C-alpha cells in the first residue's frame, strides 16, 4: 500500500548537470576504492559529485573552486526543501538570473536563496553551463529543452552528505593526510592550447601531477589521454590505464569517443 511518501531507493543520482561528470567511471573506480574503504576519500575537483555518490565513502573531503556549487551542497547537507517556484519559462529564467547576480553583488551568495536559484539556473540554463563574465555575473542564456523537471525535496541527500566535508579552494591548499585516498578529476587537458575551459592551464596540469606524485597514500587521477598528459604521468612514476569515454557530441559534430587515462599510484 502506498503511503504517499516519496522514499529514496537505490543510489542517489548526481544532483546537478555538470560538465565532465564521471558517473560512467564509477564501475572502474569501485574495485580500486574497495580495498581502501576505511580511508578518507579526497576529491580536489568534486564537480557534480558523481564519484562520491557512486563510491559512498564513510569519510570524505570534497573540494571545488566553484563557491556556488559548494554552497548548494552545504544546503543539501542541512536537508534542503526548495520553496522557490520553478517553471521552464524564459521570463522566469532571466528574472532569476538577475536575482542570483544581485545576491552575488550584495555578498549573499551563501544564502539558501542563492542555493535554490543556483539549482534552478543549472537545470534551466543552456547545457547546464556555469559561466561568469568579467564582472563576475552569471551569464548563461536560457536553455532549449522539450521539458524540464525540477526536484524540490532534497532531504534524501542530507544523511550521506552530512558525513562529508566540503571546501572551496585551489587543490594545492587542501589539508591532506598521508592516509587519504585521492581521486583527482581536473578539467581536461586540451591539446595545442595553454588554457582549457575552466581556466585550468597546462602549468596547472603539471602542478597537479607533481602534487599528486608526492602523496604517500593511494592516488587515482583521470584525464584526457593527450600525449603530453601520458608523458607527464609516466615520467612521475604513475601506472596508466586507458579507457574509452562515452561518446560526446562536440561542437564540430565529431562523435569519436575520447580516449581517457586513469593514472594510478599506490593502488592495486
Ligand atoms: C571535470 S570537473 C569534475 C567532475 C566530477 N568528477 C564529476 O563527476 O562531476 C573539474 C572541476 O574542477 C574544478 N576546478 C577547476 N580548477 C580548479 C582548481 N584550481 N582547484 C580546485 N577545483 C578546480 C571545476 O570547477 C570543475 O568542477
Ligand 1: which atom is nearest the Cα of residue 14?
Answer: 9
User: Using CA positions, which residue lies closest to atom 5 of ligand 1?
Assistant: 47
- Contact call for residues 238 and 223 (beta carbons, < 8 A): no
- Name the stretches of the chain with pLDDT < 70: 1-10, 193-198, 247-257
Task: State in Å: Cα 18 to ligand 1 middle.
Answer: 10
Ligand 1: which atom is nearest the Cα of residue 25?
Answer: 8
User: Using CA positions, which residue lies closest to atom 23 of ligand 1?
Assistant: 65
Grid cell in block for residue 185? 578529476
244 — phi, psi (to 5°)?
Answer: -100, 120
List helix spans (H) across 125-236.
158-162, 202-213, 227-235
CA angle 17, 22, 26 (to 5 degrees): 130
Count helices and strands (H / E) in the chain: 8, 7
User: Using CA positions, which residue lies closest to atom 18 of ligand 1?
Assistant: 170
- Identify the burial level of 157 via C-beta atoms within 10 angstroms of its C-beta, where 0-12 means exposed, 13-18 middle and 19 or more buried: buried
Residue 83: the pLDDT is: 98
Residue 6: the pLDDT is: 47
Task: State in Å: Cα 19 to ligand 1 middle.
Answer: 9
- Contact call for residues 67 and 136 (beta carbons, < 8 A): no
Residue 236: the pLDDT is: 98
Residue 113: the pLDDT is: 98
Query: In angstroms, what CA-CA distances link 139 with 128, 131, 132?
Result: 12, 6, 6
Q: Are strands 181-184 and 60-63 parallel, antiparallel or unpaired?
A: unpaired
Choose which residue among 16, 22, 25, 45 to substitute to test ligand 1 binding: the one with the highest number of ligand atoms within 8 A of its C-beta. 45
In this structure, the residues whose C-beta lies within 6 A of any atom of ligand 1 are 18, 20-22, 44-45, 47-48, 50-51, 63-66, 170-171, 185-187, 198, 200
Residue 11: the pLDDT is: 84
Amino acid at each position: 500500500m502506498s503511503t504517499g511518501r516519496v522514499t529514496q531507493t537505490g543510489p542517489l543520482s548526481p544532483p546537478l548537470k555538470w560538465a565532465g561528470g564521471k558517473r560512467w567511471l564509477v564501475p572502474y573506480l569501485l574495485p580500486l576504492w574497495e580495498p581502501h574503504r576505511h580511508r578518507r576519500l579526497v576529491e580536489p575537483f568534486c564537480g557534480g559529485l558523481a564519484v562520491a555518490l557512486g563510491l559512498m565513502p564513510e569519510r570524505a573531503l570534497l573540494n571545488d573552486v566553484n563557491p556556488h556549487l559548494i554552497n548548494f551542497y552545504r544546503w543539501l547537507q542541512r536537508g534542503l526543501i526548495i520553496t522557490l517556484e520553478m517553471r521552464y519559462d524564459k521570463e522566469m529564467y532571466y528574472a532569476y538570473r538577475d536575482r542570483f547576480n544581485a545576491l552575488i553583488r550584495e555578498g549573499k551568495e551563501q544564502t539558501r536563496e542563492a542555493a535554490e536559484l543556483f539549482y534552478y539556473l543549472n537545470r534551466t540554463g543552456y547545457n547546464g553551463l556555469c559561466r561568469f563574465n568579467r564582472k563576475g555575473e552569471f551569464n548563461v542564456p536560457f536553455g532549449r529543452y522539450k521539458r524540464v523537471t525540477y526536484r524540490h525535496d532534497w532531504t534524501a541527500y542530507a544523511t550521506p552528505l552530512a558525513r562529508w566535508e566540503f571546501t572551496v579552494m585551489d587543490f594545492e591548499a587542501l589539508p591532506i593526510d598521508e592516509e587519504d585516498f585521492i581521486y583527482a578529476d581536473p578539467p581536461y587537458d586540451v591539446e595545442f592550447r595553454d588554457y582549457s575551459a575552466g581556466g585550468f592551464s597546462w602549468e596547472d596540469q603539471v602542478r597537479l601531477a607533481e602534487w599528486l606524485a608526492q602523496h604517500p597514500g593511494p592516488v587515482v587521477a583521470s584525464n584526457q589521454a593527450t600525449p603530453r598528459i601520458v608523458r607527464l604521468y609516466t615520467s612521475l612514476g604513475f601506472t596508466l590505464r586507458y579507457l574509452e569515454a562515452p561518446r560526446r557530441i562536440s561542437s564540430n559534430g565529431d562523435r569519436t569517443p575520447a580516449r581517457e587515462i586513469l593514472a594510478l599510484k599506490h593502488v592495486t
